[in-house]
Amino acid sequence: MAVQEIPKIHADLNATFRTGKTKPMAWRRAQLKALKKLHLENEQALCQALKADLGKSDFEGWGAEILVTCNEIDHTLQHMNEWARPERIPTPVAVQPASSEIRRDPLGTVLIIAPWNYPLQLCLAPLVPALAAGNCAVLKPSELAPATSKIIAKLVPKYLDPDAIAVVEGGVPTSTELLEHKWDHILFTGGGNVGRIVMAAAAKHLTPVTLELGGKSPCIVGKKTKIGQAARRIIWGKVYNAGQTCIAPDYILVHSSRKDELMAAFERALKRFHGDDAQKSADYGRIINERHFDRLVGLLGDHKVLFGGTHDRDDKFIAPTILDAPDLDSPVMTEEIFGPLLPVHTYETMDEAIKFVNDRDKPLALYLFSTDAKERERVLNETSSGGVCVNQTILHYIVNDGPFGGVGPSGMGAYHGKWGFETFSHRKTVMTRTTLVDPDILYPPYSETKKKWTRRLA
Ligand code: NAD
């Protein structure tokens, strides 16, 4: 689809929205069922596209990109009638007799811009609440995952209502042209720098934005921890999708007394998951492109490697790599890693670990491995992050009933489940007053008696 077609797509979708076609619950539910069918009937082709783009194993492609969205659809279909139902709320005595409620309106035509790391799920999962809430939508998949972008562009018009949902493929010029237009909401997933561009463009039209960004998600390993289990859960979350996960644990802060055990357990876990040579493992992914490969090798620099450290540019392979206490001002400790490198630092007291986290940007995720309930409560109370996962990594993402989103530089707004429905709805308060009586109290001429009564009722 050419950039020149964008104005017409924008106008056509707005026209569809104004017909009211997308408002009935029956239309919304039919679209969600069709979206699920798209996934189920094309599972193999979708997994092949993900493999072509990211070397993703079928298990990870199916699990993180197909299953997650299908679960989101099921959860939404189960609850959306209740989410959409007008909500009765109390009316102040002063304006009685009257009744009040909150109604949820669709916003209109929304734009969803997706990244390349989970190129299918992060494009189609936000569409679930957008459709459930009754909107039209334009999807802009990532050009850096071309096979997935292509299959999304092929399948979406085949399964979903083309009057209301469009896919626009392309890179920066396409995004730039899309952002020229007035949307009713933009949900952007990607890096903070592009997030700023999106927000600035949205500001011209006063378009609200949800920014799902990234950053450095810390992982604190406490003194009291089941080290073997913690190592497996951390390293699994780190090397899933070759570390190219927005909520991957970025670096470790381990109590100094447990560091050696943790390192040995990381090595055991990696060998168990991917054998002696991860390059030969069918389950280990590849770096998206040469640019990101070079960036990661640059981050690796000449830091002390405790495990891994090998790479192969022709294969876009970087081994799972543990780094021993790289300088705090080196890029691997200041930039989001977004790859299979895991720096490890130690701390002596929890005060120190909490300070380390709080001295930096508020992260998208925070991980804590500890069997000490008091310590867990402390960390939860004294830090701020998009979400927290205790004694596990990345799986809090699939808690349908909780909001997923960042805070501060890791993002704004949220989606998943009801929170996505709210993101793509406008909540309007509706007060309906009786016509049976019309008390004189609010009307001029005002008097001390009216004031006295108003004060009493307010
Ligand atoms: P990116 O910001 O480079 O690109 C995201 C999207 O923006 C793509 O569709 C791209 O075409 C578009 N884009 C790129 N440059 C643009 C420009 N100048 N103007 C307008 N649009 C532009 O991000 P990425 O490299 O695809 O993804 C990696 C980042 O995304 C990481 O920071 C990661 O943490 C973050 N991320 C966040 C989440 C989340 O849910 N919070 C999920 C995945 C990735």
pLDDT at residue 2 in the model = 76
Mutate-to-test residue for ligand 1 from 54, 121, 175, 410, highest number of ligand atoms within 8 A of CB: 175
Run of H or E including 448:
helix 448-457
Ligand 1 atom nearest to 194, measured from its CA: 2
Mutate-to-test residue for ligand 1 from 140, 194, 250, highest number of ligand atoms within 8 A of CB: 194
User: Which residue owns the Cα nearest ligand 1 atom 34?
Assistant: 214
Ligand 1 atom nearest to 406, measured from its CA: 41
In sequence order, what E strands does 65-135 have? 87-89, 98-106, 109-113
pLDDT at residue 442 in the model = 87
Q: How far is the CA of 189 from the centre of ligand 1 (A)?
A: 5
Q: What is the pLDDT along the chain (458 residues), one digit of tens a residue?
A: 678 999 999 999 999 999 999 999 999 999 999 999 999 999 999 999 999 999 999 999 999 999 999 999 999 999 999 999 999 999 998 888 999 999 999 999 999 999 999 999 999 999 999 999 999 999 999 999 999 999 999 999 999 999 999 999 999 999 999 999 999 999 999 999 999 999 999 999 999 999 999 999 999 999 999 999 999 999 999 999 999 999 999 999 999 999 999 999 999 999 999 999 999 999 999 999 999 999 999 999 999 999 999 999 999 999 999 999 999 999 999 999 999 999 999 999 999 999 999 999 999 999 999 999 999 999 999 999 999 999 999 999 999 999 999 999 999 999 999 999 999 999 999 999 999 999 898 899 999 999 998 888 88
Question: Catalytic annotation on 123?
Answer: no
> What are the beta bridge partners of residue 369?
221
In 133-242, alpha helices (H)? 146-159, 172-180, 192-204, 227-239
Q: How far is the CA of 418 from the centre of ligand 1 (A)?
A: 24
Residue 75 near residue 398 (C-beta atoms within 8 A) = no
In sequence order, what E strands does 175-296 have? 185-189, 209-212, 217-221, 249-255
- The residue extents of the domains of the chain are 3-213+410-429, 218-398
Ligand 1 surroundings by CB, under 6 angstroms: 113-117, 122, 140, 142-143, 171-172, 175-176, 189-191, 194, 197, 212-214, 246, 336, 338, 364, 406, 411
Ligand 1 atom nearest to 215, measured from its CA: 34
Q: How far is the CA of 403 from the centre of ligand 1 (A)?
A: 20
Mutate-to-test residue for ligand 1 from 112, 122, 148, 189, highest number of ligand atoms within 8 A of CB: 189
Walk across the sheet containing 341-347 and list its strands: 305-307, 321-324, 341-347, 249-255, 217-221, 365-369, 387-390
Cα–Cα distance for residue pair 402/398, rounded to 1 Å: 9
Token pair recorded at residue 178? 């899309």
Phi, psi of 222 (to 5 degrees): -80, 170
Q: How far is the CA of 323 from the centre of ligand 1 (A)?
A: 26
Q: Domain 218-398: which CATH class?
A: alpha beta
> What are the beta bridge partners of residue 87?
102
Question: Catalytic annotation on 70?
Answer: no
Mutate-to-test residue for ligand 1 from 246, 247, 364, highest number of ligand atoms within 8 A of CB: 246
User: Which residue owns the Cα nearest ligand 1 atom 35?
Assistant: 190
pTM of the model: 0.96
pLDDT at residue 1 in the model = 66
pLDDT, one tens digit per residue, over 205-264 is 999 999 999 999 999 999 999 999 999 999 999 999 999 999 999 999 999 999 999 999
User: Which residue owns the Cα nearest ligand 1 atom 22?
Assistant: 172
Q: How far is the CA of 130 from the centre of ligand 1 (A)?
A: 19
Residue among 212, 336, 375, 422 flagged as catalytic: 212
Ligand 1 atom nearest to 404, measured from its CA: 40
Q: How far is the CA of 188 from the centre of ligand 1 (A)?
A: 8
User: Which residue owns the Cα nearest ligand 1 atom 40?
Assistant: 212
Residue among 72, 246, 336, 422 flagged as catalytic: 246
Q: How far is the CA of 211 from the centre of ligand 1 (A)?
A: 10
Is residue 304 helix, strand or coil?
coil
Fold of 3-213+410-429: Aldehyde Dehydrogenase; Chain A, domain 1 (3.40.605)
pLDDT, one tens digit per residue, over 333-382 is 999 999 999 999 999 999 999 999 999 999 999 999 999 999 999 999 99
Phi, psi of 389 (to 5 degrees): -130, 120
